[in-house]
Amino acid sequence: MSNSSSGSLKKNTGIVMESRVVGEGDAFIRILPSEGEVASFKIKGIKKSKTRPIAAVEPGSLVSIDYYYVQGKDTFNVKEIGLIQRFDQAKQGYSGTVLVSYLVELVSSFLTQGGAHPQEYKLLLAALKELDQDGFRPVFLPFFKLKLLYAGGFLSKELQCSICGKALDEMHSCSLEEDQLEIVCGECKTPQKNRIGLVRFVETCLNRRYRDLKDGQISLELLRDADRLSNKALKPLLGKKLKSESLLYEVMGEKFGQIL
């Protein structure tokens, strides 16, 4: 039980998106929860605690929290925090740490301040589990970012000509307005460059599961095009350049031979 000044005690599970430790070791974290709205929390004395693992305030960790909810407050005090999963294999080595940092920063910047984001939570959790269990594949980044755009309502699974409404499976050629992600079929406008292959890959990513694609034979050129397209679509939505982005592509190039 808690008194009225400390607030009502609540429980939740979520992914740590942002973290900073100050002073005597108090931590301030932002969590994307499985239920409810994105929120910020304060954990007192995390560095000195013998029962609270420091990994519980690490970005990308899946945690459980017991906290005091006070209506109108921006940051809630945590009674207990527990580490459910750190995703050690996903974060293994420098490249793994950079990749997880990028995913967390990307989703954190993509989310609006506050609000509930259950689809983004499920997507990020599934991505972290996949990296933890089976590692990185070249299709991972474009697939994840296209799914993120879909979860946010910026892409539809049913792709069609923006002029006549013709479905993608009826097209033989098309152009793609990348800034607006608009498709124009070849009958409405002769394309300077036929983007039908790229658009079909986008539709495949939106309509199929990652496990169906991760072992497929997909050209690196197509993956690069899809990754650049998703980056271009995400840029105005993020509002800032991600700190981890340039580092990610530098590391990916060193480890995977400039796949993206």
CATH number at residue 114: 1.20.1440.120
Question: Structural domain tally of the chain?
Answer: 2
Task: Report the CATH number at residue 74.
Answer: 2.40.50.140
User: Domain check: are 141 and 196 in the same one?
Assistant: yes
CB contact set of 104 (below 8 Å; sequence gap of 6+)? 15, 16, 17, 59, 60, 124
Residues 187, 166 within the same domain = yes
**CA 132, CA 21: separation in Å to the nearest integer?**
26
In this structure, the answer to whether residues 47 and 95 fall within a common structural domain is no
Q: How far is CA 180 from the centre of its chain?
A: 21
Is the Cβ–Cβ distance between 87 and 99 less than 8 Å? Answer: no
pLDDT tens figures, 114-169 = 689 999 999 999 999 999 999 999 999 999 999 999 999 999 999 999 999 999 99
- In angstroms, the CA 31 to CA 63 distance is 9
CA distance 210 to 256: 20
| Residue 81: strand, helix, or coil | strand
Buried b / exposed e across 125-144, counting CB within 10 Å, b at 16+? bebbebbbeeebbbbbbbbb
Mean pLDDT, all residues of the chain: 91
- Do 222 and 128 lie in a common domain? yes
> And the tokens for 96?
């793994």
Residues 95, 199: one domain?
Answer: yes
- At 19-51, the pLDDT tens digits run 998 877 899 999 999 999 999 999 998 877 777
Choose one of 27, 58, 85: the last residue of a domain: 85
pTM of the model: 0.91
Final residue of a structural domain among 41, 60, 85: 85
